[in-house]
Amino acid sequence: MIARIALGVAVFSACVIATAALQGQRAVDVMALQDDGVGPIRLGRDFDDAERLAFRVARDSAFSGIGCNGLAEIRYHGTLGGHAVDVMAMTGSNHIETVEITLQQPTSTHSHDDCLLLRDRFAEPFLARFGAFDANWQVNKPVSKETLARTGPVLIEARWFHSGKDCYISARYGDSRARQ
């Protein structure tokens, strides 16, 4: 009888410990900004480990597969600073090389200035975490005007396409583009 009670207590304790461990894993904030990425998606992290963690904490929207340029990627959806965003990690090796956060859909704006205002609202969580932009430059391309700015380890980009008045906004970790 005592052995059965002891076994029951041991099984119950193991269940409580396992539940606490699983809840701790789910407690990872999928949108927590870090110096090297966001949530479970961090530069240099083993891709398979990041993939498992992303599926654990963002199970409703996580995706993994071959994406841009034939690179392996992990994606999930979230909200950052009131904006619906996609988070994406890419690798050409087995470690995360780039982390990108983008608005989920192209946003129409009337002008390049309006696009920059949208970029600045999108950038608020990054500016709060890493400080003011330390550089801001523009690249004019045949179909777009791209304005880039750095805050800490993050490159914030606004690409405005004058022909369709579309504004694409992203934040990128692991982008080594030189200041222009």
Tokens read off for 112: 């390049």
Digit-by-digit pLDDT tens for the chain (180 residues) are 565 554 444 444 444 344 444 444 446 788 999 999 999 999 999 999 999 999 999 989 999 998 877 889 999 999 999 999 999 999 978 899 999 999 987 688 999 999 999 999 999 999 999 999 998 999 999 999 999 999 999 999 999 998 888 999 999 999 877 554
**Residue with the two structure tokens 């990627």:** 73
Kindly state whether residues 21 and 62 are assigned to the same domain.
yes
Q: What is the three-class DSSP state of 87?
A: strand
Q: Domain limits at 165?
A: 106-173
Q: Which pLDDT score is estimated for 179?
A: 52
What pLDDT, on the 0 to 100 scale, is given for residue 31? 93
Q: Which residue among 102, 124, 143 closes a domain?
A: 102
Structural domain includes residue 180: no
Residue 41, in any domain of the structure: yes
Instruction: Identify the CA nearest to 40 among candidates 28, 24, 22, 27.
Output: 28
Q: Please indicate, yes or no, if residue 178 is contained in any of the structural domains.
A: no
Residue 94's Cβ-count burial label (10 Å; 0-12, 13-18, 19+) is exposed
131 in the same domain as 95: no
